[in-house]
Amino acid sequence: MPQNLASFHRDTCRRLGPNVALRFKKWGRYQDLCWTDYRRAADGGAAGLIELGIKPGDRVALLSENRYEWLLADHAILSAGAVNVPLHAPLSAPQAAYQLEHSDARGVFVSSQAQADKIAAVIDKLPNLEFIISFEPIAPPARLEHLSWEGLVHRGRQAGRALHDEILRREAALTGDDLATLIYTSGTTGNPKGVMLTHGNLLSNALATRQLADIQPADVQLSWLPYSHIYARTVDHYLTTVAGTTLALAESVETLVTNLAETLPMWMNSVPRFYEKVWSGVETHPPEKRARELRKIFGPNLRHLSSGGAPLPKHIGAAFFKLGLPIFEGYGLTESSPVICFNSAARHRLGSVGPVIGGVEVKIAADGEILTRGPHVMKGYWKNPEATAQTIVDGWLHTGDVGHVDADGFLFITDRKKDLIITSGGKNIAPTELERLLISDPYIDQAVVYGDRRPFVTAIVVPNFEKLEEECTAHGWKSQITDGFIRTPEIVGFLQARIDKLMEAVSQPERVRACLVMSRPFQVSDDELTATLKVRRRHIVSKFEPHLAALYDAPASRGAGL
């Protein structure tokens, strides 16, 4: 069996030839790309990179939204023996500059003029950047050599047989320990760290996940999560190569429901936020109609939904299971390639993130932190041996998450170790569990709790605006907004009363005793959500802390909850 991603992809392409590998929207309709043409395009791109002087181990960046050229470029980079440095498409120019400079990238692929303009804005800070390859026509930044993707492939093919043989030599020389990608984590403070993942990390993770996954040869998997994150990179991109199935690309999260109807997939990986939005719509129907409405959204063929990237609210998982369309939750992080645990059709437990996948070990440290060891653990942080030594100790990756394993081997996540709230009364509180409880209410869409070193717990909540509007209309409430928050006493009181009812399920110190009501949802553009729609709790708390602090100046009738 091939020991690297490039050779594995080549073998799959050779074996499946005319079968459909990729399905993507172009000129308003879905197009198909077979495995033979997939490999041919990747080889042309790899040869073009070698013609540009790329050597094994060089870093080449990729700054683009999801599109089929992203996948072709990834395999071109890997087959040239180089290292893909994927940059998240929403990054600002200074953020992109840091990652390009820190990784010593020699070239960058961009999707469009908008992304090229980011490079142009910081080109003086990137003396080592030599070329830019664009998927669309652009006016390139000064100084950089520019080729279109088609031009790169044509240049590679023109080079002839000698370069093709060089690609095969480079692929054959790649070992499982060679670096495949450098992914920068989105830290809440300071500069992000570059996670070094090898061919062995990613291939072993895709193969182990494949062993658990109910994937059939003729399956179509719809993909919408950003490939610049490790979740979609492994469980959409590489997993479909390992399984030999068709990967269909959604145009965007906004068109996801339409794309589901157009592609009729059997599989889809997503994040909790999407399932929450779907359920908020389905929940409005009478119980006897909900299963039918859910099927209208996901189509007749869909049999497997996966969730990762953030905790899946238990009530959402239970609702989907009850309606016959189970969501199988998994768990991992960038540093673990990412999958550590995964629920499957054969073995699952609601509320857990599943048992460990093959070849992976998990243990719980004395302080409750989850540790993992195995072929999925990163090589380390790029140019940061100190952080590497703190995170990987005696071969065990310290995840920073807190949890426990039950008697049957299912892992349950309690919280992030660093996110634990310690009230001024010395009570340790897990914010994730409280946030899950809050968003179980149909009138609350998103929530972030607060209270570290405070006498009691408070929260910022984003209401379900559609349902709240119905309530406001029925009672004649008018929305009063100040500093981005709804201040109408009746609305705040209505939501706080619902929160008080929810809080009966937890102990006194854990109870959310006051709240701020946002006038808009948390947004990626404001750095309040990650690209995978995960709430950035610490960033939100820091941003709105003066408003949260004011809640503690209110009358003390709510008490400290000690």
Interatomic CA distance for residues 537 and 541, integer angstroms: 6
Which residues are within 8 A (CB) of 390 and not within 5 positions of it... i.e. 6 or more apart?
Answer: 398
Strands 392-393 and 396-405: antiparallel
Find residue 403's DSSP bridge partners: 413
Q: What is the mean pLDDT of residues 293-308?
A: 95
Supply φ then ψ for residue 403, to 5 degrees.
-170, -170
Question: Does position 562 have pLDDT exceeding 50, yes or no?
Answer: no
Q: Say whether 415 sits in a helix, a strand or coil.
A: strand
Query: Rounded distance, CA 485 to CA 152, Å?
Result: 51
CA distance 6 to 75: 6
pLDDT digits (tens, 9 = 90+) for 274-291: 998 899 899 999 999 999
Q: Is the dihedral of CA 246, 251, 256, 261 positive or negative?
A: negative
Least trusted range by pLDDT, from 318-322, 435-439, 451-455, 472-476? 451-455
Tally of CB atoms within 10 A around 437: 22
Determine the residue type at 90.
P
pLDDT value of position 159: 83
pLDDT band (50, 70, 90) for residue 416? confident
Residue 66 contacts residue 256 (beta carbons within 8 Å): no
Picking from 109, 161, 171, 167, the residue whose alpha carbon sits closest to that of residue 134 is 109
Half-sphere exposure for 282 (CA within 13 Å, toward CB): 23
Confidence of residue 424 (pLDDT cuts 50, 70, 90): low
Structure confidence at residue 189 as a pLDDT band (50, 70, 90): very low
CA 70, CA 86: separation in Å to the nearest integer?
A: 10
Tell me the C-alpha to C-alpha distance, in Å, between residue 209 and each of 181, 200, 256, 298: 19, 14, 24, 23
Instruction: Render 119-154 in DSSP notation, one character per residue.
Output: HHHTGGG-TT--EEEESS---PPTTSEEEEHHHHHH
Q: Which helix (H) or strand (E) holds 108?
A: strand 107-110
User: In a 3-state reduction of DSSP, which class is residue 307?
Assistant: strand
Q: What is the pLDDT of residue 559?
A: 41
Query: Which residue type occupies 272?
Result: P
* Residue where the block lists tokens 């379900």: 464
User: What are the Cα distances from residue 397, in Å, to 184, 230, 375, 406?
Assistant: 17, 17, 11, 20
Check pLDDT > 60 for residue 260: yes
The C-alpha angle 279, 280, 281, rounded to 5 degrees, equals: 85
Per-residue pLDDT at 510: 86
CA dihedral 514, 518, 524, 529 (to 10 degrees): 10
**Residue 252 to residues 32, 258, 259, 418, 518, Cα–Cα distance (Å):** 18, 10, 9, 32, 25
Give me the domains of the chain, ranges plus CATH numbers.
32-174 (3.40.50.980), 251-417 (3.40.50.12780), 420-558 (3.30.300.30)
Between 526 and 102, name the one with better pLDDT. 102
Determine the pLDDT at residue 186.
65
pLDDT at 26: 94
* pLDDT bucket at 417, cuts 50 / 70 / 90: confident
92 or 294, higher pLDDT:
294
Please check the confidence at residue 426 and state whether its pLDDT lies above 80.
no
Rounded to whole angstroms, the Cα distance separating 15 from 2 reads: 14
Handedness of CA 88, 12, 375, 223 (dihedral sign): positive
User: Would you say residue 554 has pLDDT above 90?
Assistant: no
| Sign of CA pseudo-dihedral 52, 54, 58, 63 | positive
Instruction: Name the pairing type of β-strands 107-110 and 20-26.
Output: unpaired
| Band (190; pLDDT cuts 50, 70, 90) | low
Question: In this predicted structure, what is the pLDDT of residue 558?
Answer: 43
Q: How far from chain centre, in Å, is Cα 2?
A: 27
Closest CA to 236 of 247, 251, 220: 247
Give the residue-averaged pLDDT of 23-34: 97
CA 65 from centroid of its chain's CA atoms: 13
Beta bridge partners of 402: 369, 415
Residue for token digits 């179509």? 220
| Contacts of the segment 118-125: beta carbons below 8 A, 24+ positions apart | 118/63, 118/91, 118/92, 118/93, 119/63, 119/93, 119/144, 121/93, 122/93, 122/94, 122/96, 122/97, 125/97, 125/101
Q: Which of 155, 146, 187 is nearest to 51 (CA)?
A: 155
Tell me the per-residue pLDDT of 88-134, one tens digit each, with 9 for 90 and over. 998 889 989 999 999 999 999 999 999 999 999 999 999 999 999 99
Please give the Cα distance from 392 to 398 (Å, whole number): 6
Q: Which residues pair with 181 in a beta bridge?
A: 84, 197
- Please, what sign has the CA dihedral across residues 208, 214, 218, 221? negative
Q: What is the DSSP letter of 420?
A: -
Specify the 3-state DSSP secondary structure of 447: strand
What is the Cα–Cα distance from 549 to 353, expressed in whole angstroms?
35
- Of the CA atoms within 13 Å of residue 326, those in its CB half-sphere come to 13
